[in-house]
Amino acid sequence: MEKTKFSIFKSKITDIVQLTENVKHFRISVQNDFSFIPGQYISIIMDNPDRKIKLRRPYSIVSTNKEAKKGYIELCIKILEKGNITPLLDKLKVGDEIECLGPLGEFKISEESKNKNIIFISTGVGIAPFMSMIPEILGKTNKKVTLITGYKSEKDVLYNKEIKNFEEKYNNFSNYTILSESQGRVQSLIESKFDKNADYYICGLKDMISSVNLLLLKKNILGKNIYLEKYD
Ligand SMILES: Cc1cc2nc3c(=O)[nH]c(=O)nc-3n(C[C@H](O)[C@H](O)[C@H](O)COP(=O)(O)OP(=O)(O)OC[C@H]3O[C@@H](n4cnc5c(N)ncnc54)[C@H](O)[C@@H]3O)c2cc1C
């Protein structure tokens, strides 16, 4: 079983890209010996201006160990107007220092899944861990790898260019996106792309996760073949 060592560390923001109206992509520095299992997250720890207690929130690592070896990892963060920590993260500038804890988390591609077809399902920023898991698994398997993503509208779609690159590079990879405002929900794509022999990985908010999980169980996918990461 792969294990990683976690620690508290200081990190510098080295790049920030505004991906959509409310989602930012952060590049932050790590020590050269930082390594993680794709799917894991780091927690950001921030001082709370209003109270004495510090705030701590987990964020999935979007990049791979190739980038970590170069001294950085990347995060994809949705800024919530009424949130506690994300309005503070929104104010960060390149060069600012933050405190982090990690890598942590058990959401990773299981040994059993590595010999099976895999379907990854996300809505919104739930795509984050898959941007790290997909390149890792595509380098190692000939089985089918499918990504199903849901967003509100075209302008909310994340990492289009990177996903197109995966499609061009690997012919066992397919990507399907559905827009809730005009086309429907990820559940309908799951119906049309259903594979009874696949393992399923789902990431996003709890309502979507519960509904997709139930749908898969009703279709006789065993619970042990469904892996979940809830963001709320
Ligand atoms: C393992 C794990 C990994 C995570 N990875 C990411 C990530 O890669 N990117 C990311 O943006 N968030 C991620 N989250 C969510 C993140 O940790 C925070 O919960 C989120 O940023 C809100 O923090 P806040 O302090 O601004 O809001 P809070 O003050 O904590 O809460 C605001 C409310 O918004 C809800 N909420 C949380 N996330 C969302 C969302 N995406 N859309 C709408 N409502 C939401 C919360 O449950 C809460 O009800 C992850 C959560 C977990 C548990």
Residue 98 has pLDDT above 90, yes or no: yes
- pLDDT grade, residue 222 (50/70/90)? very high
Tokens (6 digits) for 18: 């505004």
Calpha distance 28→10 (Å, rounded): 10
Structure tokens at 136: 């890792």
Q: Which residues line ligand 1 (CB under 6 A)?
A: 41, 57-60, 76-78, 80, 83-86, 105, 124-125, 128, 205, 229, 231-232
Tens-digit pLDDT profile for residues 195-204: 999 999 999 9
Query: Which string of DSSP letters, residue by residue, matches 107-149?
Result: -S--TTGGGS-EEEEEEGGGGHHHHHHHHHHHTT--S-EEEEE
Q: What is the pLDDT of residues 39-62, one digit of tens each?
A: 999 999 998 877 778 999 999 999
CA of 214 to the centre of ligand 1 (A): 23
Residue identifier of the C-alpha nearest atom 52 of ligand 1? 231
- Going through 37-185 in order, the beta strands assigned E by DSSP cover 41-46, 55-60, 72-78, 97-104, 118-123, 145-151, 173-179
Q: Please state the rounded mean pLDDT for residues 75-99.
A: 97
Q: Whose CA is nearest to atom 34 of ligand 1?
A: 83
CA-closest residue to ligand 1 atom 49: 232
Domains of the chain (ranges, CATH numbers): 7-104 (2.40.30.10), 113-230 (3.40.50.80)
Asked whether the predicted pLDDT for residue 1 surpasses 60, the reply is no
Q: How far is the CA of 86 from the centre of ligand 1 (A)?
A: 8
Which residue owns the Cα nearest ligand 1 atom 28?
A: 83
Mean pLDDT of the chain: 95
Which tokens hold the place of 150? 């849901």
H/E run at residue 11? strand 7-18
Q: Locate the ligand 1 atom nearest the alpha carbon of residue 80 and give its number.
A: 26
**Ligand 1 atom index nearest CA of 105:** 1
pTM (two decimals): 0.96
105-157 per-position pLDDT tens digit: 999 999 999 999 999 999 999 999 999 999 999 989 999 999 999 999 999 99
Q: Tens digits of per-residue pLDDT, 173-219? A: 999 999 999 999 999 999 999 999 999 999 999 999 999 999 999 99
Question: Which atom of ligand 1 approaches the CA of 89 most closely?
Answer: 26
Tell me, in angstroms, the distance from the centre of ligand 1 to residue 231's CA: 6
- Ligand 1, residue 59: give the atom nearest the CA: 5
